[in-house]
A and B are shown apart, each in its own frame.
Chain A
Amino acid sequence: MRTAIIYFVIGFNFFVGAYFGIVNTVYAGLLIISLFAIIRHIHRVKYSPIRDFRASPETPPVSILMPVYNEEKAVIRSIRATLSIDYPLFDVILINDGSDDATLRTVIDTFRLKKIDRVYRNFLKTEAVKAFYYSNETPNLLVIDKVRGGKADALNCGINGSPSPYFCSVDADSLLEKDALIRLMTPVLESGVPVIACGGVVRVLNGVQLGDDLSIRKIDLPDKPIILFQIVEYLRGFLFGRVGWDVLNSLLIISGTFSLFHKATVIEAGGFKVGNVSEDMEMIVRLHRHRLQQGKPYRIRFISDPICWTEVPESVKMLARQRRRWHLGLIQSILHNREMIFNPRYGTIGMLVMPYYVFFEIIGPFIEIVGYIVVLLSYALGLLAVKFFVLFITLAIFYGIFLSTAGIFLEELTYRRYPAWGHMFRLLLYGVFENFGYRQINSFWRLQAMVRYLTGRTGWEYVENKGARSGAKGGRP
C-alpha cells in the first residue's frame, strides 16, 4: 500500500510539473498576443470611424435588454444611464422577471408608463408575459412584466419583444459609458465577415463616484480588500485573457453583463438556455457550434475599449456564491456541448479551446486542491524535498504576481482608468496579496461547484449587493 501511495505521489508530482508548465505557457502566449493586439487597437482607435457611425442612419438599431429581478435600488439609475448613451437608434427593453419587491412600481412611477396591449410572439418559449408598459414620453423604453423564469428566460423574452436586428444584454446594476455601444458595434460594421456577437470590457463600479448625469465623475478604489482583489482579477481577465482568445477567434466567454448579439443568429441557435447558470458562456459555445455545423463564416469578437461598469460582491459569502455559479456554468456549458471536444469538425474550437477549458479551467481547481493534499502526503511519507517544494511554490507565486502585474501594466499602457499613483500601487500590492489565500479560496469555491455539478445541485445561487440584488452580479473576468 505504502509503495502504491509513493508511486502515486511521485507520478502526481511529474503530472503537476507538466500541468503547471502547459497552463502557464498558454497564459504567457495569451499575454504576448494581447500586448501586441492592445497596442495595435489603441493606435487604430485614434482613426476609427466611431464619430461617423454615431451619426449615420446606416448604423443598425439595437435593443438593449435589461433583465431585472428585485433591483428596486439600482434600476432607475441603470435605465437613465442607458437611455442617455450616444447611439443613433436604440430601444431599452426592461424585463421584470417576476420581482417581488417594488422594482416594477418604481419604474412605472418614475417614467410614467402606461399599460399597453402588444402583440408578443413566442419565437423562443418563455414563461408567461403578464403585461407591457410604455409611454410616449420615453418612446424607446418598453417594460415587459413576466412570470419568474430566470435570467436566460428573461433574455429570451426580451429577444421576442425586440424590434431590432441586434440586441445588447446589460445587467441592471451596471452602467454603460456613453460611447460603449457604438464602440461595441464598430467591429460589426467594419468586419467583412459577419460578427455574430461582440463583448466589451466590464469594470468594477464599487468605489466609483457618479455625476448628476450618471456619468463617471471620479474613479476611486474602495477600501475593502475583497473588492480590490476583484479589480485586479477583472483587469487581468479582460485585458489579456479575452484579448488573446479574440485574436485566435476562439472566445468562449463574453460577459453577459455587456455583450452584443445578432438576434436572428441567436434565435436560430435556440436562444439562451434556461437552466444553465451561466447563460452567456453557454450561448457563445452554442453559437460557435451552430455556425461551425452550418459551415458559415463568422466572428465572435471582444473589444477592449467599450466599457461597462458593474457592481461586484462585497462580502465573502456573496463572492463565494458568484464564483461557484460561474464555475458551475462553465462546467455545464462545456459538458452540454461535449461532442465538440476533440471533434475536428469544430476546428480550433473543438481541437484546442474546448479541451483547454476541460483540462485546465474545469479540472484546474481539483488538481490544485489535490496538489495541496499530495504535498501533505509527501511530507508524511518523508518524500518531500523542502528545497524543491519551496522553490516550486515560490515559482507559482511569482508567476501569479507576474500575471497580475502584467494586467495592471496593460491597463497603464492603455486606458488608465485608475489615475492616482496610490491606485496603481494599491492594485500592484493586491496583485501580490491575492496569491496568499484569495486564489486558494477561489479554487476551493470552484471545487465546490464541481462537487455540486456531480451531485446534481445545479440551482442558481443569488448574489446580493450593496446597491441591488439579482442573479448575475458582475461579468466573469
Chain B
Amino acid sequence: MLEQPISMHADLTLIIIATTIAALVLLITALLLASIVRRVLNDRMYGKLDALRHEYGRRLSQVLETEGIAVRAEAFQTKPGSLAWQAVEDVLFAIVSEGKYDKKGRALFQRFGYVAFYEEQLAGRNVLARASAIDKLGRMRCTSSTPKLLPLLEERDPEILAVTVRALSRIGTKEALAAIIGRLPALLGGSLVTRKAMETALLNFGETAIPYLIGHHWERADPWIISCILETLSHLAPDARSVSLAIEHLHSPNSEVRSKALKVLGRAKANVPRHLAELVLPLLEDPVWFVRLQAAISVGTLMLTEAAGPLGKLLFDKNWHVRRQAALALTRFGHAAIDIFHEALLTSDGYAKESVCEEIEKAGFSDWLVANLGGSDGQLRTKSRDILTIMQRLHFSTPLIEYLANGVDERIKQEIRSFLTDGRKP
C-alpha cells in the first residue's frame, strides 16, 4: 500500500493482487451460478420426481389391489438411475413401510430389478455407493440378498461393516444371524462395529435371535462379547434358555458379565428357578458397585422379599446409586419393607436416610404411610408415624403438607399436625 518507486517488484505485486481479485470474482460468480443452476435443476428434478411418485404410487396401489405381484413388470420397467427408477423405488419403500402390502412390495423390488441392480453395486469401489446399496438391500429385506451380503462381513472398512450388520439384521435371516454371531469376536474385538450398534442390530432379529445367541459356544469368548450377548438377551422376551445362560454366568469373574446376567434374570419373571434367591442374593454384596446396583434392581423387579434384609444393608452402601436403587426396590415390598426403613431411618447416616426418604416419596410409599396413620393396626400406625416423623425432620415433609392441604381424613390430619414441627405450613 506504500508509495514505491516504479519497479518490477511493485508491478509484480500489483499484478498478483489484481489476478487474485479476478480469480475471486470468478470464484464468486462460479459459486453464484452453481447455486442458481443447482436450484433450477433441483426444482425441476424434484417437481418431476413428485409427479412420477404420484403417478407410480397410484398405479402400483391399483395393481397391488387387483393383481397382487402378478403385475406385468414391463409396465414398471425403468432405466436404473433414472427419475422413474427413483420414483418407483420410493413408492415401493413407502408401500413396504406402510405394512399392508409389505410382502408384495418386497417381492416387487425383486421383480422390477432393484435387488439385482444393488447387488451389482456391491462389487464397486466407491465406499459411499456400496454402503448405500447395502443399506437399500437391507431396507428391501430381500432374503435372497443374504448370500451376497455375508462376504462383506469379512471386510475391514468399519463403515461397510456397520451398514452390512444393520442390513443383515433388517433382512433377519437365520444365516445372517449365524454369520454375525460367528464374526462377533472379530467385529467387536477389532472395534470395527461399536457395541451399541451391534446390540441395536441384534435386537432387530427379535426373538429368533435367542437360540443363536444362546447356542453359540461362548465358553472361551471374551467377557465383553458375553456381556453384549446378555445385554441383547435382556431386551428380548424372557426365555428359559436366556435364564439358564444368565445363571451360568452369574458368578463370572468379570463384573460386567455378572451385571448383565442379573439384568437378564431381572426381566425374566416367568422362567426363574425356585432357588433364584439363593443365586442372586450373594451378588447384593458384590465388591463391584454396578453389580450390586443391578442386583438391587433385579431383586426389586422379581419381588424377592427374602432380599429385604440384604437390601436394608445396601441402604448404607458407599455408592449413592446403589443406595437409591436399594431404597426403590424396598418400596416395592410394601409391608415387608417398613421395618427395614424404620431401622434405616434411626441410624446416623444422613446420606442413606436422604436416599431412603427420596425414594419413599417418589415411589408413592409415603402416601401409603400417611394412609396408615388412620388405620386400625396400631403397630403399623406407630411405625408409619415414626418414619414420617423422621422424614419431616429431614425436610421430606411435602406429602404431609400436601395431605393437610388436600386430604379428607380428619384423624390423619390431626395426627400429622401433632408431629409436623419443621415450621412448614401447608
Contacts and interface: CB of A to CB of B under 8 A. Distances in A.
A121 B3 contact: no
B28 A405 contact: yes
Interface residues of B, number: 59
Interface string B1-45: 111100000100110011011001101100110111011001000
A59 B235 CA distance: 13
B132 interface: yes
Interface string A96-107: 000000000000
Interface in B339-375: 354-355, 357-358, 361-362
A48 B71 CA distance: 33
Interface stretch (B144-152, B192-200, B252-260): B192-200
Contact of A117 (B128, B158, B201, B396): B396
Given A398-B25, A399-B24, A47 B32 contact: no
A375 interface: yes
Given A49-B162, A388-B14, A189 B396 contact: no
Contact of A388 (B1, B199, B355, B361): B1
B321 to A, nearest CB: 9
Interface string B153-164: 000001100110
B115 interface: no
A428 B135 CA distance: 37
A137 B397 CA distance: 21
Which of the listed residues A13, A387, A389 has the most CB atoms from chain B within 10 Å of its own CB? A387
B398 A401 contact: no
Contacts of B402: 114
Nearest to B190: A192
A391 interface: yes
Given A391-B18, A424-B35, A190 B162 contact: yes
Contacts of B2: 9-10, 13, 378, 383-385, 388
A47 B21 contact: no
Nearest to A388: B1
Q: Name, among B3, B235, B361, the residue most crowded by chain A CB atoms within 10 Å (CB to CB).
A: B3
Contacts of B131: 44, 47
A269 to B, nearest CB: 21
A interface: dominant SS? helix
Interface string A389-430: 101101100110110011011001100100001001000100
B395 interface: yes
Contacts of A384: 1-3
Interface string A309-344: 000000000000000000000000000000000000
Contact of B203 (A58, A375, A383, A409): A58
Contacts of A391: 14, 17-18, 21
**Chain B binding surface SS class:** helix
B28 A402 contact: yes
B425 to A, nearest CB: 13
B292 interface: no
A176 B361 CA distance: 33
A116 B194 contact: no
Interface of B: 1-4, 10, 13-14, 17-18, 20-21, 24-25, 27-28, 31-32, 34-36, 38-39, 42, 128, 131-132, 134-136, 158-159, 162-163, 166, 191-192, 194, 196-197, 199-201, 203-204, 231, 235, 320, 324, 354-355, 357-358, 361-362, 395-398, 402
List the 6 shortest-distance A-B pairs measured between CB atoms, nearest first: A47-B135, A398-B24, A192-B191, A117-B396, A56-B200, A388-B1
